[in-house]
Amino acid sequence: MLKEKLKDYKIILASSSPRRQQFFRDLHLDFDVRLKEVDEIFPDDLKHHEITDFLALLKSNAFDTNLADNELLVTSDTIVWHNDRALGKPKDYNDAFEILKSLSNATHEVITSVCFKTNQKTVLIHEVSKVTFCELSDEVIDYYIKNYKPFDKAGAYGIQEWIGFVGVSKIEGSYSNIMGLPVKRVFDYFQQLP
């Protein structure tokens, strides 16, 4: 459906995330993956979606001199926001355990920002979804970390994995956003391109 709409663009996805790449394939997009190393450091005074907006834009700015006129770059960043702070990817088993323990029997927000960049303009969007976990026992947390190794995931979990099936009691908002990309918002943006 989008192929005709985007025939004049070369889509560049700047993400190593297998989930984001799969979403682009599921939208039947022709795209290239192009990666640049970026230190994902943000100012301490940023809160909530300001963090993901900043990081998605930072990732896109790494390509400022590398875009051809017909290229449309897509960058993205996702955080888990809980107790007024950003939870990133866990450093190790203990960090993952502490993060999941803090999410147990509580509601947190998953925030994803997406930056669309061409040589002519830059557009930034963000989406917020809420996830409520039931009480997670130490055994459940231990089993999940040892079997699924969620060290590449913000908040130390993947909603589409076992922990999402047995531990999540409520979701408000976009499910795909919790996986790392608000697919409907991306689709809508592509749909309205000239």
Residue 152: active-site member: no
CA 58, CA 73: separation in Å to the nearest integer?
13
Distance of CA 112 to the CA centre of its chain: 5
- Inter-residue contact 44 to 26 (CB < 8 Å): no
Query: Within 10 Å of residue 125's Cβ, how many Cβ atoms?
Result: 18
Options 26, 77, 138, 152, the catalytic residue: 77
Tally of CA atoms within 13 A in the half-sphere of 166 that contains its CB? 10
Query: Parallel, antiparallel, or unpaired for β 10-13 and 71-82?
Result: parallel
Nearest to 55 by CA among 1, 114, 128: 114
Helix (H) or strand (E) holding 13: strand 10-13
- Phi/psi-derived region of residue 17, left when phi > 0, alpha when psi is between -120 and 50, beta in every other case: beta
Rounded CA-CA distance 135/110 in Å is 19
**Cα-trace Rg, the chain:** 17
Q: Which residues are marked as active site?
A: 77
